[in-house]
Structure 1
Amino acid sequence: MSKKGIKDILQLGHPLLYQKSEPVLQSELDAVKGWTEDLASAMAEIRDKYNFGRGIAAPQLGIMKRLIYIDLGQPKVIINPELSYLSEEMFELWDDCMSFPNLLVKVKRHKHLTLRYHDESWNMQEWKASDNEAELIQHEYHHLDGILCTMRAIDDKSFKWRP
């Protein structure tokens, strides 16, 4: 099977982007390795072409599983994430997405959160994140529920083309 890449990233309007993903089963851990390689490959190509990309959710490649790949200098595989704390404090930012790489969308995100998830060895992990990390986690987590940042825009003027 050929490795997936940028050409396989589902684009805005694709019906799978709006569907809720299924949990990853422990018996699927062998498949997770291949899915993660595909996610990493697609994200590397986005970084090369568009100069952005810190994380990607499996549904963006049509893998309808609750799986996220994040690389903030060290790769992290996030399986079946659960947000267990979202701060009341919010902040605004221009969000981008690999499924529409030339469009920016102004959204509000929680400033702090706690994420619980399984890692690639099926160990339970907890990540207390703030600011940019919290924003990234929320963006990718929403993909798992079929929610795009275009659906969370602050208002109808919260869209602009990437400079």
Structure 2
Amino acid sequence: MILKIARMGHPVLKTIAAPVEDPTAPEIEHLVSDMIETMEDATGAGLAAPQVHVPLRVVIFHVPRGRDVAESSEDEIGLTVLINPEIEPMGEEKEAGYEGCLSIPTMTGKVSRYSKIKYRGYGLDGELIEREATGFHARVVQHECDHLDGILYPQRMDDMGSFGYVEEMQKAASQD
């Protein structure tokens, strides 16, 4: 079932999500199934449970093949479900890049994120998932996990001058 996506300003997006007690619980599997359908319908790269009005520490994401090749030489990362995720930066280096969000439709802004991270969390089978990520992969994991702590990407922006409507930002970039 396609779920309603909470938009910036809704209280659920400002709260810290609760840990999931049992990643294998049927209600978590049902939630994830609905989140996948919702993300695909909205053509997003990721989705966090608070974005669909469920304050639990669950995120889903994928990295399409060829996405931001300049940022990352990684191949496609298939659909990943992370329950109770944790992120650890691997160094202090950050990269600035434009981000969008299903909770802030039609907007974009430049955000600095750690260039390389380690992350871990649990899958629907209860098994631990541990990976390293760079480029867009690292960016999408950090972005989705921010939702679990009540943070939207504009709160991470250093320069609000880079925040605007996608259509207007594209027009301005093409005129430069």
2:2 aligns with one of 1, 4, 17: 4
> Secondary structure of 1:99's partner?
coil
CA-CA distance at 1:125 after TM superposition = 1.4
- Find the counterpart in structure 2 of residue 20 from structure 1: 16
Tell me the distance in 2 between the aligned counterparts of 1:27 and 1:117: 10
Spell out, residue by residue over 1:59-101, the C-alpha distance to the aligned partner (whole angstroms, 9 max, x if none). Answer: 0001110000113352211000011334311010111000012
1:1-163 counterparts in 2 under 5 A? 3-5=1-3, 8-26=4-22, 29-47=25-43, 53-72=44-63, 74-163=78-167
Distance 2:152 2:89 in 1: 21
Quick one: distance in 2 between partners of 1:94 and 1:154?
12
Residues in 1 aligned to 2:62 and 2:53: alpha-carbon distance in whole angstroms = 20
Counterpart AA for 2:53: G
Can you list the C-alpha shifts for 1:23-61, whole angstroms capped at 9, x where unaligned? Answer: 0111762111111111111111111xxxxx111000000
Moved over 2 A (4+): 71-74, 84-87
Unaligned runs of 5+ in 2: 65-77, 168-176
Residue 25 of structure 2 aligns to a residue whose secondary structure is: helix
3-state SS of the aligned residue for 1:109?
strand
Q: TM-score, normalised by structure 1?
A: 0.89
- Supply the RMSD in Å over aligned alpha carbons: 1.4
Indicate how the Cα distance of structure 1 residues 81 and 104 shifts in structure 2: closer, same or farther if over 3 A, else same: same
Cα displacement (A) at 1:137: 0.4
User: Which has more radius of gyration?
Assistant: 2
Gaps of 5+ in 1: 48-52
Partner secondary structure for residue 150 of structure 1: helix
One-letter amino acid of the counterpart of residue 101, structure 2: C
Q: How many residues align?
A: 154
SS of aligned partner of 2:129: strand
Q: For 1:26, what is the secondary structure of its paired residue?
A: coil
Q: How many Å separate the matches in 2 of 1:4 and 1:64? A: 17
Tell me the secondary structure at the aligned position of residue 31 of structure 2: helix
**Identity, % of aligned positions:** 30
Q: Measure, in 2, the Cα distance between the counterparts of 1:139 and 1:87.
A: 18
